[in-house]
Amino acid sequence: MSFSAVPPGRGRLVVPVVAVAALAVLPLVLGPYPITLGSRILAFALLVLSVDILTGVTGLPTLGQAAYFGAGAYTAALVGIHWTGSAVVQLLAGVVVAAVLALVTGAVVVRTRGIVFLMVTLAVGELTHQAANSWPVVGGTNGLAGMPPISVLPGGPPLTLSGFVYWWVLAVFVAGYVVVAHAMRSPFGRTLRGIRDNEPRLRALGVRTYPAKLAAYAMAGAVAGAAGTLWAAQARFVAPADLAFDVAAFALLSVVIGGAGSLWGPCLGAALVILVRDELSDHVDGRGPLLLGVVFVACVYVLPRLRGRLRRRKGAR
C-alpha cells in the first residue's frame, strides 16, 4: 500500500493552520490575565510586522512606526467614545488615518536612506509623541480614557470578556498577516526586495523606486494603524507612552531577534519582547530592559552564526 505525497502548496499551509487553531483555543483553557497578555502580544506583533515590511523587506530601518500605531489607537478610541463601539468601524478608521499620515510624512521620509532614514523616522515618531502629550483633545499627558467595550456585530452586545476580545484581535492579526504575506510574494514584494538588495541597479533597469518605497511606507503605516486599534480595543485606554521611543525601539528589536525579512520570525520576536518586558521583568526586580538588552546582544552574536550553519548544511545536501 502506498501513500501519495502531500502537495508542496498544501504542506506549507499545515503549520500556519495548526498554529492559528492552537491560538484560537487558548481562551478555552486559560484564564483572563494570560488571554489579555495574548491580545497584547498579537497587537504588538502586528506592529512589528509593519516594521518588518520596511526594515526587513525594503531595507529601510525605521524607528517611527509607533507614530502610526498611536494614530490608529487614538482614532479607534475617539471613534469609540464619540461615535460607535463597532470594532469594524474603529479598525477601518484607524487604518485610514494611519495610512494617510504615513503617506503624507512618507512623501518626504522615503527620499532618504540608511542612517538618515532612521533618524528622520525617529523625528516623526518623537513629533507625534509630543503632539499626543500636548494636545488636550486626546487627553494630553493623562491619556484618553473612557473607551467603551467593542462590539463586532452591528447592534450586537459589547465584548466584555477577555476571550471574545482576544478572538477579535486574533482574527485581525491573521487577516493582516495574510495580506502582508501575499503582498510580499507578489511582484510588488519582489520590487521591494530589489530596492533592499541593489536600488541603483533597479533604477538602471528603469524601475521607479520612489513610488514603490512610498507605497511600502503607506502600507506599513496602515498595518501599524490596525495594530493600534487592536491595542486600544484590548486596553480601552490610550496614552502618549504608546507612541514613545521605547515602543518603536522594542518593535525594531523584535525584527532583529526574529530575523529581518521573514514575516513569522519577527512575530515570534514580538512575543519574546512582550513576555520579557511585561512578565519576566517582575521576577528580576524590574530589570526587564536589562534582560532584553542581554537577549539582543546574544541574538546579534548567535543568530548570524546559526543561520550560516543552516545554509551550509542545506548547501551540502
Predicted pLDDT at 304: 63
What number is the average pLDDT over the span 248-268?
Answer: 89
* Closest CA relative to residue 169, chosen from 46, 275, 70, 39: 39
Q: Across all residues in the chain, what is the average pLDDT? A: 89
Burial annotation 57-67 (CB, 10 A radius, 16+ → b, else e): bbbbbbbbbbb
Predicted pLDDT at 281: 66
Q: Could you tell me what percent of the chain has a pLDDT over 70?
A: 88
Q: pLDDT band at 179, cuts 50/70/90?
A: very high
Q: pLDDT band at 311, cuts 50/70/90?
A: low
Q: Could you tell me what percent of the chain has a pLDDT over 90?
A: 70
Is residue 163 pLDDT above 50, yes or no?
yes
pLDDT in tens, 21-64: 999 999 999 999 999 999 999 999 999 999 999 999 999 999 99
Q: For the purposes of burial, counting CB atoms within 10 Å of the CB of 109, is it exposed (0-12), middle (13-18) or buried (19 or more)? A: buried
What number is the average pLDDT over the span 308-312?
Answer: 62
Is residue 238 pLDDT above 50, yes or no?
yes
Q: Residues 48, 269: contact at Cβ < 8 Å? A: yes
Q: For the purposes of burial, counting CB atoms within 10 Å of the CB of 208, is it exposed (0-12), middle (13-18) or buried (19 or more)? A: exposed
Predicted pLDDT at 1: 39
pLDDT in tens, 273-292: 898 888 776 666 666 677 77
Q: Residues 71, 101: contact at Cβ < 8 Å? A: yes
User: Is the model more confident about 288 or about 142?
Assistant: 142
Which residues lie closer than 8 Å to 244 by C-beta, 6 or more apart? 66, 129
- The angle at the Cα of 230, spanning 70 to 49, to the nearest 5 degrees, equals 75
Q: pLDDT band at 258, cuts 50/70/90?
A: confident
Predicted pLDDT at 193: 95
Predicted pLDDT at 297: 75
Predicted pLDDT at 309: 66
Q: Residues 68, 195: contact at Cβ < 8 Å? A: no
* Closest CA relative to residue 44, chosen from 169, 135, 182, 146: 169
The position carrying cell 507614530 is: 67
- Number of alpha carbons in the 13 Å side-chain half-sphere of residue 276: 20
